[in-house]
Amino acid sequence: MRSLQTRFGEVTYNTKKVVHFPEGLLGFERLRDFIVIPNKNDDVLFCFQSVEENHVAFLLINPALFFPDYRVPVSTVVKDKLGIGTNDPYFVLTTITFHQDETVTLNLLAPVIYTPKTDRAVQIVLEGSGYSTKTPLKTGEASP
């Protein structure tokens, strides 16, 4: 066990239960290990806290809830990086960005593929897909 001072206060975690990004995220290539902070909607929303940089944490969401038609091709090269075979399960997640004007956007251009099998994750780039790094969540739709 080890503890970490974060924006959520002090967090104690099991050093064996970390999610490993073998390549880091783009621009954060040196940060390889993250812990998942428990969260209310833990079936769709995940908070990944870096264990190497206290001030770095990403909120990752399953975009299917808002974008049911979003499809991500996961190549065998990516599966090799994740250490999984053809039929092993993986999840497609995207980072969330909060903006000054209260809008919330998802990065559909560069999703994160995570597999519980090896607890590894890789950020991939869907170049040429037409997806944007700042796809707005239509929060209005969720109001009754």
Partner 1 sequence: MLVLTRKIGESIIIGENIKITILDHKEGRIRIGIQAPPEMKVLRLEVYERICQENKEASQWDSKKLDALNSLLSKKKDQK
Sites of contact with partner 1 (CB under 8 A): 7-8, 23, 25-28, 39-41, 44-45, 47, 55-59, 65-66, 75, 77, 80-81, 95-98, 104, 107, 109-110, 123, 125, 127, 133-134, 137, 139, 142-144
In the complex, least distance from residue 74 CB atom to partner 1, rounded to whole angstroms: 13
Instruction: Give dist(CA 7, CA 56) in Å, integer.
Output: 9
Nearer to partner 1, 16 or 143 (CB): 143
In the complex, least distance from residue 71 CB atom to partner 1, rounded to whole angstroms: 19
In the complex, least distance from residue 25 CB atom to partner 1, rounded to whole angstroms: 5
Closest CA to 39 of 21, 60, 22, 55: 60
Nearer to partner 1, 1 or 70 (CB): 70
Alpha-carbon Rg for the chain in angstroms = 15
Is-contact 120 34, C-beta < 8 A?
no
In the complex, least distance from residue 143 CB atom to partner 1, rounded to whole angstroms: 7
Closest CA to 92 of 57, 66, 128, 54: 66
Q: Which residues contact 78 (CB under 8 A, 6 or more apart)?
A: 113, 122, 124
Nearer to partner 1, 16 or 55 (CB): 55
